[in-house]
């Protein structure tokens, strides 16, 4: 068994399964604020990824009170967030002054730019590819450009789905460390902290929403419904892609892209082979 006191600061990566298990055993005994303080001390090249949901805002507020140099923030702007979310980003920037890095789909800075390449409502045609393009690829680009080795997330076990068995610290398929400091908190505790500490939050939460993502995949929840019931309502989906296996998502996106290119080639070939087109006329001449 590894003694926590003997671990290097920052941790030397990669972690062995035994060391990871010992760290989780230690962190499981701590409160979220203590977990965050441990992370600042031990996790290398640490950033906080956030879509400015309640749990992430709690972590941000705790960090602002426990360190003079909190980890920088990474916000993945899908281009399809609610206006209220963008307003919240500005409010958080003004209150906390934490460095913020914003990443968007590659080469696309507006909805118009994005839809010129991918078409309108692309999430309806291939949701996995949409998730990869607007969330997964920008996140991986951020990690590479910023040298990120560890991130703080806002995931909690009480959110259910793939998150039900969360541990304080995880390692994903790329080797990235993911810290879940509030993994044991429930939604009411999160709400209590937000209220007690005057933490800014999304105005949509006072209008019947409980978890806010892209406008096209977020709806209000009914009385007694699960916190994330308003995300991808009516579908089995519970994660956007950021916390799925990266290499699987990448493979699916590449396959979809290849199929799209092939369809375009077939259509163009058909068009230029029609009687009366330049191609067919040239052959006839």
pLDDT confidence of residue 249: 78
pTM across the whole model: 0.84
Q: Strand pairing partners for 75?
A: 102
Answer whether residue 228 shows pLDDT above 90. Answer: no
Report the distance separating Cα 283 and Cα 277, nearest Å: 10
Same domain flag for 186 and 78: yes
Closest by CA to 213, choosing from 131, 106, 91, 116, is 131
Residue partners of 156: CB distance under 8 A and separation at least 6? 55, 163, 166, 180, 182, 183, 184, 185, 186, 187, 190
Q: Report the distance separating Cα 35 and Cα 159, nearest Å.
A: 20
pLDDT band of 251, cuts 50, 70, 90: confident
Q: What local confidence, expressed as pLDDT, does residue 285 receive? A: 47
Average pLDDT of the residues in 102-110: 98
222, 239, 256 — which closes off a domain? 239
Q: Is 201 a catalytic residue?
A: no
User: Is pLDDT above 60 for 237?
Assistant: no
- The model's pLDDT over 124-161, given as tens digits with 9 standing for 90+, comes to 999 999 999 999 999 999 999 999 999 999 999 988 77
Residues 181, 270 within the same domain = no
Same domain, 61 and 25: yes
Say if residues 134 and 128 touch (Cβ distance below 8 Å).
no
Mark whether 201 and 250 lie in a shared domain: no
Give the helix ranges, DSSP H, for 134-211.
137-146, 187-196
**Same domain flag for 11 and 76:** yes
Considering only residues 233 and 43, tell me which one the structure prediction assigns the higher pLDDT.
43
H or E element at residue 158: none
267 in the same domain as 151? no
What's the pLDDT score for residue 211?
87
Domain hosting 256: range is: 245-285
Predicted confidence (pLDDT) at residue 51 exceeds the cutoff of 60: yes
* Inter-CA distances, 119 with 101, 178, 241, 250, Å: 27, 33, 20, 20
- pLDDT given at position 186: 95
pLDDT of residue 221: 84
Q: Which residues pair with 218 in a beta bridge?
A: 231
What is the rounded average pLDDT for all residues in the chain?
Answer: 88
Q: What percent of the chain has pLDDT over 90?
A: 69
User: Which are the contacts of 259, defined by CB distance < 8 A and separation ≥ 6?
Assistant: none
Same domain, 225 and 260: no
pLDDT tens for each residue of 180-196: 999 999 999 999 999 99
Do 272 and 211 fall into the same domain? no
Higher per-residue pLDDT: 61 or 6: 61
Give yes or no for residue 283 having a pLDDT over 50: no
CATH number reported for the structural domain that contains residue 234 in this entry: 3.40.50.620
Q: What is the pLDDT of residue 142?
A: 99
Is 4's pLDDT higher than 90?
A: no
Number of domains observed in the structure of the chain: 2
Catalytic residue (one of 240, 242, 249, 253): 240
């Amino acid at each position: 068994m590894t003694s926590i006191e003997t671990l290097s600061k920052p941790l030397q990566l990669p972690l062995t399964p035994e060391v990871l298990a010992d760290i989780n055993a230690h962190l499981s005994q701590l409160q979220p604020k203590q977990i965050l303080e441990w992370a600042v001390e031990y996790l290398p090249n640490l950033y906080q990824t956030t879509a400015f949901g309640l749990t992430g805002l709690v972590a941000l507020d705790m960090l602002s009170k426990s360190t003079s140099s909190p980890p920088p923030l990474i916000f993945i702007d899908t281009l399809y967030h609610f206006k209220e979310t963008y307003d919240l980003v500005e409010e958080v920037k003004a209150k906390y002054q934490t460095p913020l890095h914003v990443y968007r789909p590659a080469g696309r800075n507006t909805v118009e730019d994005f839809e010129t390449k991918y078409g309108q409502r692309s999430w309806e045609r291939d949701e996995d590819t949409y998730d990869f393009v607007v969330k997964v690829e920008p996140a991986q680009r951020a990690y590479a450009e910023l040298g990120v080795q560890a991130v703080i997330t806002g995931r909690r076990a009480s959110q259910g789905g793939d998150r039900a068995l969360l541990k304080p610290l995880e390692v994903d398929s790329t080797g990235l460390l993911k810290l879940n400091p509030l993994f044991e908190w429930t939604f009411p505790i999160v709400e209590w902290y937000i209220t007690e500490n005057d933490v800014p939050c999304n105005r949509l939460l006072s209008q019947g929403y409980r978890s806010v993502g892209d406008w096209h995949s977020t709806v209000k929840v009914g009385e007694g419904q699960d916190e994330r019931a308003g995300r991808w309502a009516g579908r089995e989906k519970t994660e956007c892609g950021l916390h799925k296996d990266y290499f699987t998502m990448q493979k699916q996106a590449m396959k979809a892209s290849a199929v799209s290119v092939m369809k375009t080639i077939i259509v163009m070939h058909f068009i230029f082979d029609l009687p009366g087109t330049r191609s067919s006329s040239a052959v006839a001449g």
